[in-house]
Structure 1
Amino acid sequence: MLSLHSNPVFTRLADSERILVAGAGGGFDIYSGLPLALSLLHQGKEVYFASLSFSDLAGLPLDEWVAPDLAAVTPESFLNQAYFPERTLARWLSGNGYPSTVYAFPRTGVRPLRAAYQALIERHHIDAVVLVDGGTDILMRGDEAGLGTPEEDLTSLAALAVSDEVAVRMVVSVGFGVDAHHGVNHVQVLENIAALERDGAYLGACSISRSTREGALFIDAVTRAQEQTPEHPSIVNGSIAAAVRGECGDVHVTERTRGSELFVNPLMSLYFAFDLPGLAARCLYLDRIEDTERMTQVHSRIAEFRRSVTPRQARRYPH
């Protein structure tokens, strides 16, 4: 049993030496794991980065593919498109003196993604995996009023749910409240976290603080990424970084959100941590996407499941 003064995330990772920090939902999700990954690097751990990519990875040179559906993106990787978060992160890491390879997976179904993860785990003898979601979609079990955009998150979750040879598997969610514009009811998020606590799968929470080295570096990394991807900056990480800076209320970090009302707040800077197998066990439709090969199949299987259930009634905060 932990002591109250122990950080639940880092205590669980204390004995791990080769840790994979992976973005669950694609795109800039890997940035949400950057403060955690940097802290582990500063402790002397070997840390590897991976991302489910929204970019067209097919244009990468053959020698950057280290296994089927697994590309090793470096600062020099060439892809003829402006939106390439994995390369953007690789360049930031290199510029700040950190290991700068970011592994990237194309958007596939569960079966090929699981095989690609397995290849990466074996390649570096990974003994811990932290799957990071920018937002709370990954905490949706399937019967909520709205699921947000769960396809990539749950594909990643399912891909890692059976990796029993990895000693430690965790899910970390950061950006509480940011998914409201995708229809997520955050009272139901809290209900789900409470249920995970009862199951023993909720590991606790910790804050990303701007007063820490890692918090300051995260703000810098997000700022650089927004500058280098002006046509499609990250709403999620921009909002999280604003919360880390201490901003609150209807704060817009990109023109993409103009016309909508946001609520940036301190809860967005909290890491909520969960046991990965425990979280996976609560998903009501994970078995339906197990045999998928393509992301379109994942989408259709979730839609089919949603037609078979009566969603829980959404509630507003009582105060």
Structure 2
Amino acid sequence: MIVVTSLLTNPILARLADSRRILVAGAGGGFDIYSGLPVALSLLHQGKEVHLANLSFSALAGLPPDDWAADDLAVVTPDSAPHQTYFPERTLAQWLRLHGYPPTVYAFPQTGVRPLRAAYRALIELHGIDAVVLVDGGTDILMRGDEAGLGTPEEDLTSVAALAALDGVPNRLVVSVGFGVDAHHGVNHVQVLENIAALERDGAYLGAFSIPRASREGALYLDAVAHAQHHTPEHPSIVNGSIAAAVRGSFGDVRFTDRTRGSELFVNPLMSLCFAFDLPGLAARCLYLDRIEDTFLMRQVHSRIAEFRESTVTRPPRAFPH
């Protein structure tokens, strides 16, 4: 169903106008939750109750029993696992405390769809969540499966599948930010645009908006990314570093970490755009979502997608017109 709004209305905020308790979650692990900070902070500044969660690449198994709200649902605070050097959820919790925001970030371990859905359900019931915004730093969450390259879709689409069947949540949205950053993972961005056009025809594309550097949320996002880079110098986020560089107005092969040595980045203004989608509509276009539905382990998700790719005729990559 197409909802008519004003041209000047932010598509995410319009869809969430009547929501009161909102979960903003990182779809693909690592620092993905940072990509959702501008939306989360904007909602907080409107007086909404906002909770943060992330599919985690951190070593959650070492957390004590008191740090678990449910199976596969860790409660991360600024003081969690102080001896771990790589812990994006804890680093974000520390930044939130510094700025006076609720300093809790929930973390999901890497699992298959079934356990992740159960963990989401537990978190949604714990806080009476009435809307979920799933955020991907990059565009591989938009890949339906027959593209020339899928990037790294396993975690992203596990998150999509986990939430697609939770019909009790009135609003389930997807935000993709960082257009172009997945090129080094083989994503063809002409096909990304082709997919967005198809989602528009289906009524699942809600529109796009930018992260302005001059906005309160844009400035706080830049500060959060800088804080994370300072506290995780050995493994800074390439995705959020690229998005932050784009928000600052940088362009081209911008260097902010040795992790990108040997590759060429193309930081550009499109990286600061947030593309918004209806999650059930996005899920309906994925060609292999049914194949990963009954998975319990992330390695099962990997193998199911690989099996699907072996039997699929892929669309040839296309170049942008010159």
Q: TM-score range by the shorter chain?
A: over 0.9
5 Å-filtered alignment, 1:220-299, equals 220-299=223-302
Q: Which amino acid aligns with 1:248?
A: F
The equivalent of 1:184 in structure 2 is 187
Secondary structure at the counterpart of residue 314 of structure 1: coil
Q: Partners of 1:8 and 1:128 in 2: how far apart?
A: 14
Name which of 204, 218, 222 aligns with 2:221. Answer: 218
Q: Which residue in 1 is equivalent to 2:31?
A: 28
What's the offset of the Cα at 1:62?
A: 0.5
Question: 1:81 deviation in Å?
Answer: 2.1
C-alpha displacement of 1:261: 1.1
Deviation at 1:254, TM superposition (A): 0.9
1:196 and 2:199 correspond: yes
Secondary structure of the 1:273 match is: strand
Alpha-carbon displacement from aligned partner over 1:255-279 (angstroms, at most 9, x marks no partner): 1001211110000000000000000
Residue type matched to 1:177 in 2? G
RMSD: 0.6
In structure 1, runs of 5+ residues without a counterpart are none
Pairing 1:107-126 to 2, within 5 Å after superposition: 107-126=110-129
The match for 1:14 is: 17
Tell me, what secondary structure is at the counterpart of 1:211?
Answer: coil
Per-residue CA distance 1:120-174 (angstroms, 9 max, x = gap): 0000000000000000010000000000000000000000001111010000000
Aligned-partner Cα distance in 2 for 1:118–1:184? 31
Q: Percent identity?
A: 79
Deviations 1:225-278 (A, max 9, x none): 011111110000000000000001111221100121111000000000000000
Structure 1 residue aligned with 2:304: 301
> Structure 2: any 5+ residue segments left out of the alignment?
none
Give the corresponding residue for 2:171.
168
Aligned partner of 1:39 among 37, 42, 54: 42
Aligned to 1:208: 211
Contact 1:187 1:317 in 2 (8 A): yes
Q: Over residues 98-134 of structure 1, what are the superposed CA-to-partner deviations in whole Å (9 max), with x where a residue is unaligned?
A: 0111000000000000000000000000000000000
Q: Is the 1:60–1:79 Cα contact (8 Å) retained in structure 2?
A: no
Q: Distance in 1 between matches of 2:162 and 2:255?
A: 34
Letter in 2 for 1:173: S
Task: Select the residue among 61, 77, 80 that pairs with 1:77.
Answer: 80
Q: Is the 8 A contact 1:59 1:80 kept in 2?
A: no
Q: Distance in 2 between matches of 1:236 and 1:3?
A: 31
Deviation at 1:9, TM superposition (A): 0.9
CA contact (8 A) 1:155 1:289 kept: yes
**Does residue 87 in structure 1 map to residue 90 in structure 2?**
yes
Counterpart in the other structure of 1:156 = 159
Q: Is 1:53 matched with 2:56?
A: yes
Which amino acid is 2:254 matched to? V
1:139 aligned partner: 142
Give the letter aligned to residue 70 of structure 2: A
- SS of the residue corresponding to residue 102 of structure 2 reads coil
| Cα distance in structure 2, aligned partners of 1:227 and 1:148 | 27
Matched-pair contact (CA < 8 Å) for 1:57–1:79? no
Superposed displacement of residue 20, structure 1:
0.1
Is the CA contact 1:137–1:150 (under 8 Å) kept in the aligned structure 2? yes
SS at the partner of 2:198?
helix
Structure 1 runs (4+) greater than 6 angstroms displaced: none
| Superposed displacement of residue 80, structure 1 | 3.5
In 1, distance between residues paired with 2:315 and 2:226? 38
Return the alpha-carbon distance in structure 2 between the equivalents of residues 299 and 252 of structure 1.
31
Distance (Å, rounded) in 2 between the aligned partners of 1:214 and 1:200? 28
Q: TM-score, normalization: structure 1?
A: 0.99
User: 2: distance between equivalents of 1:75 and 1:309?
Assistant: 45
- Amino acid corresponding to residue 82 of structure 1 in structure 2: T
Q: Deviations over 1:202-222 (max 9, x none)?
A: 000000000001000000100
Asked if 2 retains the 8 angstrom alpha-carbon contact of 1:24 and 1:131, the reply is yes
Give, as a single letter, the amino acid of the residue that structure 1 aligns with 2:103: S
Matched with 2:131 is 128
What's the CA shift for 1:79?
A: 5.2
